[in-house]
Structure 1
Amino acid sequence: MSLRSRLALLALTLLTVFTTLPARADEGLWLPLLLKQLNEADMQKKGLKLTAEQIYSINQGSLKDAIVQFGGGCTGEIISDQGLLLTNHHCGYSQIQSHSSVENDYLTKGYWAMNREQELPNPGLTATFIVRMEDVTSQVLAGVPATGIAEAQREQLVQQNSQRVAQAAVQGTGYQAFVRPMFNGNEYYLFVTEVFQDIRLVGAPPSSIGKFGGDTDNWAWPRHTGDFSLFRIYAGPDNKPAPYSPANKPFKPRYYLPISLAGVQPGDFTMVFGFPGRTNEYLTSWGVEETYSVSNPAKIAVRDAKLRVLDADMKASDKVRIQYAAKYAGIANYWKKWIGENRGLKKLDAVRVKQQQEVEFQRWAESGNDARRAAFGGLLPELQRHYALGRDYTLARDYVSEAALGIELVVYANSLLPLLELTNRQAPAAERVAAVEKLKKGATGFFRNYNVATDQKVATQLLPLYANGTPAALLPSYVKALGKQYATTGWDAYAAQLYGQSRLTSQASALAVLDEVAAGKFDALRQDPAMKLAEAIVSHYRTAILPTYNLATDQIALLQRTYMAGLRLQQPERKFYPDANSTLRLAYGQVAGYEPADGVRYDFYTTLDGIMEKADPTNPDFEVPARLAELYQNKDYGPYAYKGTVPVAFIATNHTTGGNSGSPVINGRGELIGTNFDRNWEGTMSDIMFDPDRVRNITLDVRYMLFVVDKYAGAGHLVKEMTLVGAPDSGAGATPDKELKKVKVKRKKG
């Protein structure tokens, strides 16, 4: 019986299945809509004092109304009734960089708006609230055959239905909407959103606080990074989203988070509310092995080479440092994460554990009735076969994305390929000129943060990695020919010629090329060596790699969807959560230290004392600002002290991933106790396999944020906006009702 036929038998069974079922302790990225059904009792048992309705509600202000997706990849939280937004320093890094120059180096010195007029606009930056979410599985799958169509065709039908559902949900409103798959496409959920466009920079500590520890401490514990920045959401006169205007007013939120000064202790309940990016918790052993043995090693090697070049050039030039600060941070972040992930997967023996799970699944599949055997009996061998078919294509894809497109000149040339296609098909002059004008605008942003000498050094390192790492059968003939041509002199000689002859290496000459194309002189673009290289790589990728890669991944997606459905049938007592996909989720756990290795025990928090212990003026990662050292010497901590120092960070067992950066960490009473900014290195494999004994999320203690804003920066006017609440035994407290009870803590002098 074919797989399609097996799926047909499965379809009737799945229509009657709804599982509500427990992951391991503290594991899970839960949909807020389902907290009442799945998690409320367990959360309250662990210390939650709220109800599910106080966390997620569409009828009254709730915690979810204080949470935003910050830009496209982070989370932020509203901490005042005037739209003040708290997120990570690294989440606001590109905005801080965009306002920086050698003369006004806000990256190095920090920035603090002392009044509303000094708050800086950030074109393109958005803050997105979730208005509501809804299970729309039946609408999305209406008319989608369970069998008999290719996965790509099924996906097309799903997308069409999803668009109709989303459009209908917001018709006649100012909201936006989208639909996301859950459980590998077994379920679909609608998210209605409100997107604000006027987001202004309010405050950011210097990098010596916001990035203290740098790449040395990244993904590590103990951690002493003041990883926060402050923004403000502005709205139109009706408190609705509006484009930037000096006339806009601070946004009045439905709800904002009160801030607790009580601190945390081991065993305290914590929850993280945010927009985690991507996890693959239900990956099979073949998927884990491909990640561990194929993809991660290739990507680590490429990024390692690129980072070495950028690091040297950034240290040699302040201009280059500012140009590449955000780029370097982004590249380094996942480079180190992948290294830690592989270490964690090895430590957990993840491939073998997955294989054992698959043995149990196969035994279950074959021990059932005819329908179960037909639907699941041959599933795992099919998955294995398609992973094997796609393995080389996955590697080739990784080398294109990381190595070939890790060269900025190739990236820029690639952005011009649509224009080249217009000239090749002799498009009308008006269409060509319009395309040129659009590309000219984009050139300004690209070249503002581009250094040609640095990029040439990167190309010298990455081209041989691309040429030698890509499976030979999948390397473009153009690149093979270059390898032979420069076999004696090396890729550095080719890079020198490439950058010496291309006219796309500076803004002035690139704009001149575009003007020539607009005037009908097409050879200026066609004959440019950077265009030839980019076209050879990208066209080969599109024709020789992507089709087979997509075919293999489409089949894996279809089979994985069936496997996910089977797992839920096989384990009816387990609570399943959907993998992260940048939608609003809640994770919960408890404050706890951990033991990373034999004989090593890490405590649950760090303090300002540790910053001073790490201080090293000869190491840029561990420079300490003079003002911070002065406050430490004078023990001038204000009301933010704990045991004679200032708490900086703490760890807990919450399940987090990329996208949770900037997420609020909230106590059992619904009060903000910190801002999530990282995971421990030993726990980075949690995107694939969660280990409650080793996985920890790292949180900036809110008391250190307040200390920096108030005592270090002298921006106490911002603290006055916030609602600070005292320790539980002081009688102060806050509850997430529609109207917040504001309990201010008196701020002591000095």
Structure 2
Amino acid sequence: MGAASWSAEGMWTLDNLPRAQMQASQGHAPDAAWVDRAMRAAARLAGGCSASFVSSSGLVMTNHHCITRCLQQLSSPTLDRMATGFLAREREQEIRCPDFEINRLEAITDVTEQVRAATAGKQGAAYQAAEDAARARLTRECRGSDVENTRCDMVTLYRGGQHQLYKYRRYSDVRLVWAPEAAVAAFGGDPDNFNFPRWCLDAAFLRVYEGGKPAPVQHHFPFRAEGPQPGEPLYVTGHPGNTQRLLTVAQLEFLRENLGTEVIPRNSEIRGVMLQYARGDAEAQRLAQGALQGIENGLKVQRGQLLALNDPAVMDAKRSAEAALKAFVASQPELAARTGDPWAEIEAAQRIKRDLDAEMQLLEEGRGFLAAHFGYARTLVRGAAERSKPNAERLREFNETNLPQIEQRLRAAAPVYPAFEQARLAWSLTRMRSQLGADHALVRQVLGQRTPEQVAAELVAGSRLADPAERLRLWAGGQAAIDASADSFIRLVRAIDADARALRKRFESEVQAVERRAATRIAQAQFAQSGRNAYPDATFSLRLSYGEVAGWTEKGQPVAPYTDFAGAFRRHTGAAPFALPAPWLAAREKLNPAQRFNFVTTHDIIGGNSGSPMVDREGRVVGLIFDGNIHSLGGSFSYDGSRNRAVSVHAGAIVEALRTVYEAPSLVQELLGSARP
């Protein structure tokens, strides 16, 4: 099958859908009632993936690769749940994921004018402080007194042109129901990643609980096991993480430079470290493989982004659009007076960003201290200091609405592996020394006369932060407990925190605030030029995209939009990453070889959409987004409807696998609507 009969660019907010455009292109546009139901049936994993409610008993569908952290936390040296998979045949067998949180959007409130009033006339540090104070106040008012069950986020859209409050129902008791073996969830591994055809059962089910019982939910997406047909209108409700389609040319040029000189080399190095670590015993191999999945996926994304930014056509289109907007502003004297030259301001900020970026990444963002211990220590040290301040004056990550999530992470009984921590930490310290130089003050302070390996060993050996009880003791004890602690990582963070805060303050004042203030004026100019007929960049807030099943043409050859079970067995070689697990081989004769497995559609998606349900015009699940094709990697910057494709697991493949391979009739009944209440 060739190019789509129609393409549908845009990750649209639910309060600003292009209904006329949808009706004209696909003959259908969801009404307000449909959108409201879809909003309440959609969900997100707070750690960065999309999800959806698929039964009235709190059953949640997402991707397998979105819950690998839970599977790893529930594994041990003698039980590898990534390899074996998991199925709770009774609800009593469902196991809690230690630090998972699921959010369901309840309401959207526009607060643009409040934020503009708070920041009016301010620049630099004063602008950033005013915006942070407004965020703290508005999210606190939104949340009210229901600290445990309500979450409120202030979402910035159009790079500052609009601000909205998103109010969520927060579920912190999240339990694992079913996950297949990693061998079939990620069948084809890195060679097939971001390619098509694919044969992956990248699906999993969780359940949210309230008061120790499955949480009842009013709105959910029922399953349509026969799946989608070409030509019918299909919708994806999900939480795309981050796009850069509205960045200025100067920002894109910085991003291109940073990808090529810093991000890709760094991730290539840690990939090599993990491959070497995986040559150890079985436990080392298990831990390294868990890390490698994310590293290799990230590298493919980043290389695709760099390829797009090196494409003259992409950058020429960006320059042309920017020039057209500048010309429009110049033609409107009043608008020109209000707008000024925000593009020049952003370009100047990029020069400062180049100077600060390496230290920001290593020190403030913690890339020089790659260890879970360091993350806990930073949270505890800063948390003690920030909680003593008025809410509006705190670092934004410690405002009151975020404290329940922080406490949940500190409380989680997630295993920490000392040897693995030590290996990663030694590498990151080595890289910090290489980047900053042996004479840099931070390097001398941290390493002294010792090697990175020696420092990493001493830090890990001298810390008790792997123990949740110790973390909670320090959190509850506040500043006095932090001051009295002799923990090695606590002492490290105490020693470097003043410098890290100073660096952050300068970055926020001279780069971030300048970019935000300038982007607000660019957005207002765009609104003057074309109204609200454009979608904002992705911000991990709920969006809807629309499209249809369609293949594409690759080097003159048509790429069919569907794969089937028979193709998976033809692809099977018996060696990773093309080795189907034993239960699939045992069930081969019972499976329908013609059952559709994966399929591609024209939907405009990006990272963060993983786990998004694909639903039909009746609001029924027909598929589960888990990837894009190789052409979608440039989707951070633009959308090409002739080649960009979203890749999904077919709803029928999920049902057939549960019924025939995993013999889970109760779960199948729940998905198809005949489960117990």
Superposition TM-score, scaled by structure 1 size: 0.76
Query: How much does 1:674 deviate?
Result: 0.6
Aligned residues: 643
Please, which of 161, 169, 181 is the counterpart of residue 194 of structure 1? Answer: 169
Shift of 1:664: 0.4
Which of 119, 128, 135 is the aligned partner of 1:159? 135
Change (3 A) 1:457 1:601: farther
Confirm or deny: 8 A CA contact 2:369 2:425 kept in the other structure.
no
Deviations 1:519-544 (A, max 9, x none): 99989948x6x777666665443334
> Which residue is 2:160 aligned to?
185
Q: Supply the distance in 1 between the matched residues of 2:442 and 2:93 (Cα, whole angstroms).
A: 53
| Alignment correspondent of 2:515 | 556
- The one-letter code sitting in structure 2 at the alignment partner of 1:594 is W
Distance 1:206 1:511, change over 3 A: closer
Please say if 1:682 is aligned against 2:628: no
Local SS of the residue matching 1:258: coil
Alignment-derived partner of residue 426 in structure 1: none
Q: Is 2:62–2:203's contact at 8 Å kept on the other side of the alignment?
A: yes
Deviation at 1:713, TM superposition (A): 0.2
**1:550-586: per-residue Cα shift (whole Å, max 9, x none)?**
42221111111111111222234x7111222222211
Counterpart in the other structure of 1:404: 368
Pairing of 1:633-712 with structure 2 (within 5 A) = 634=589, 636-637=590-591, 641=592, 644-712=593-661
Q: Which residue of 2 aligns with 1:590?
A: 548
Instruction: Write the mapping of 1:699-738 to structure 2, written as runs, cut at 5 A.
Output: 699-723=648-672
The match for 1:497 among 445, 454, 467 is 454
Q: In the alignment, is residue 277 of structure 1 matched against residue 256 of structure 2?
A: no
Matching residue within 528, 537, 550 for 1:579 = 537
- Asked whether the equivalents of residues 377 and 465 of structure 2 are also in contact (C-alpha less than 8 Å), the reply is no
CA distance in 1, matches of 2:522, 2:601: 32
Matches of 1:63 and 1:511 in 2, distance apart? Answer: 37
Does the aligned pair in 2 maintain the 1:341–1:683 contact within 8 Å? no
1:608-623 equivalence runs, <5 A: 608-619=565-576, 621-623=577-579
Does the alignment pair 1:450 with 2:417?
yes
Q: CA deviation at 1:211?
A: 2.1
- Aligned partners of 1:148, 1:521: CA distance in 2, in Å? 35
Over 3 Å counting, the alpha-carbon distance change for 1:480 and 1:217 in structure 2 is farther
| Residue 347 of structure 2 corresponds to residue 380 of structure 1 | no
Map 1:140-539 to 2 at 5 A.
140-142=115-117, 144-146=119-121, 150-163=126-139, 165-167=141-143, 175-235=150-210, 242=211, 245=212, 248=213, 250-295=214-259, 297-314=261-278, 316-323=280-287, 326-347=290-311, 349-369=313-333, 371-400=334-363, 401=365, 403-407=367-371, 411=375, 414=378, 445=413, 448-452=415-419, 454-470=420-436, 476-479=440-443, 494-502=451-459, 504=461, 507=464, 525=486, 539=498
- The structure 2 residue matched to 1:568, chosen from 527, 534, 550, is 527
Of 354-363 and 409-418, deviating more is 409-418
Match of 2:75 in 1: 100
User: Is the contact between residue 499 and residue 505 of structure 1 (CA under 8 Å) also seen in structure 2?
Assistant: no
Report % sequence identity.
23
C-alpha distance in structure 2 between counterparts of 1:203 and 1:66, whole Å: 20
Change (3 A) 1:406 1:603: farther
Question: Are the equivalent residues in 1 in contact too, given 2:62–2:624 (CA < 8 A)?
Answer: yes
Match of 1:131 in 2: 106
Which runs of 5 or more residues in structure 1 are unaligned?
Answer: 1-23, 236-241, 423-437, 487-492, 725-741, 744-750
Aligned residue type for 1:659 = G
CA contact (8 A) 1:653 1:692 kept: yes
Equivalent in the alignment of 1:606: 563
Cα pair 1:302 1:462 within 8 Å, conserved: no
5+ residue gaps in structure 2?
1-5, 387-405
| Letter of the structure 1 residue corresponding to residue 623 of structure 2 | G
Q: 1:43 maps to what in 2?
A: 22
* SS of structure 1 residue aligned to 2:336: helix
- CA contact 1:88–1:227 (8 Å) conserved in 2: yes
The Cα of 1:110 is off from its aligned counterpart by: 1.2
Secondary structure, aligned partner of 1:90: helix
Matched to 2:352, the amino acid is L
CA distance in 2, matches of 1:198, 1:364: 52
| Contact 1:80–1:256 under 8 Å retained in 2 | yes
1:205-256 deviation digits (Å, cap 9, x = unpaired) = 1111112222333333322211111122233xxxxxx4xx2xx2x3332122
1:27 aligns with 2:27: no
Contact 1:503 1:513 in 2 (8 A): no
Q: Which amino acid aligns with 1:44?
A: Q
The Cα shift of 1:358 comes to 2.0
Specify the code of the residue in structure 1 equivalent to 2:8: D
Residue-by-residue CA offset, 1:245-271 (whole Å, 9 max, x unaligned): 2xx2x3332122222233334443221
Query: SS state of the match for residue 202, structure 2?
Result: coil
575, 580, 587: which one pairs with 1:631? 587
Q: 1:293-336: CA deviations, max 9, x gaps?
A: 12454122112221222233335333234445554433443232
| Higher CA-based Rg | 1
Deviation string 1:418-457 (CA, Å, 9 cap, x unpaired) is 69999xxxxxxxxxxxxxxx99x959957x33232x4444
One-letter amino acid of the counterpart of residue 343, structure 2: L
Is the CA contact (8 Å cut-off) linking 1:299 and 1:399 kept in structure 2?
A: no
**What do the CA deviations read for 1:467-494 (whole angstroms, capped 9, x no partner)?**
3334x69x842416889x88xxxxxx71
Which range moves more in the overlay, 191-200 or 280-289? 191-200
Q: Report deviation, 1:179.
A: 3.2
8 Å CA contact retained: 2:153, 2:166: yes
Paired letter, 1:450 = Y
d(CA) in 2 for partners of 1:541, 1:521: 18
Asked whether the equivalents of residues 664 and 674 of structure 1 are also in contact (C-alpha less than 8 Å), the reply is: yes
RMSD between aligned residues: 3.8
Distance 2:514 2:29 in 1: 44
Q: Give the distance between the partners of 1:135 and 1:538, measured in 2 at CA.
A: 36
Q: Which amino acid aligns with 1:613?
A: R
TM-score by length of 2: 0.84
Match of 1:74 in 2: 49
Task: Give the 3 Å change call, closer, same or farther, for CA 221–536 of structure 1 in structure 2.
Answer: farther
| Residues 254, 464 of structure 1: alpha-carbon distance in 2 compared, 3 angstrom cutoff | same
